[in-house]
Amino acid sequence: GQAYCWLGENEKAQIILEEALQKPGENHLIVLQLIALYHKSGNSSAWQALLDRRLVSVNDLMESGDSFFYQENYSAALDWYRIALFSEPSLKLVWERWQSIGLKYENKKDWQQASAVYQAALEYQEQLGLAPFRASFLFRLGVNLERLGDSANKDAAGHYYDQAIADGYFLDETDL
């Protein structure tokens, strides 16, 4: 199954991995590979069903995300963190990693990508009905929009700053 994944033959890989999952024994790596394949193909009901069966832990999902995070493949890391949040939406560590990815893009002076990361976090929180780190995400989004420099983004930045402060964000000397 893994070889077919590397070759990009995802349908063949999926068939083999699904068959292997039916066999007894330790299979959490097979489950993780299937979750990745289902996620990549947009089959959310299939990966959600695997999560519902509790064949892997949230820690397994976080470790998968972290492996991509440390390789600086932030898009893939965010995919795994989204899946982990489906299992445990209030998991603080996921939201901390998400913010870290935004800060990594800021350190690279990629304001557009950092803005996209914070915007995605806010949208995902809204879908889940949660708000951990919301004020911080709002503030960081405002900072990056302001850095993009055009007047429309600067106006939007002011709106996000106001929201962040209304949500309890407190400025400190590092924000100035």
Q: How confident is the model at residue 142 (pLDDT cuts 50, 70, 90)?
A: very high
Q: CA 104 to CA 101: how far, in whole Å?
A: 5
Give per-residue pLDDT as tens, 77-128. Answer: 888 888 888 888 778 888 888 899 999 999 999 999 999 999 999 998 888 8
Task: Please report the DSSP string for 1-61 in residue order.
Answer: -HHHHHHT-HHHHHHHHHHHHTSSS--HHHHHHHHHHHHHHT-HHHHHHHHHTT-S-HHHH
> What does the pLDDT read at residue 35?
84
> What does the pLDDT read at residue 26?
65
Residues 84/58, Cβ–Cβ less than 8 Å: yes
* 0.85 surpassed by pTM: no
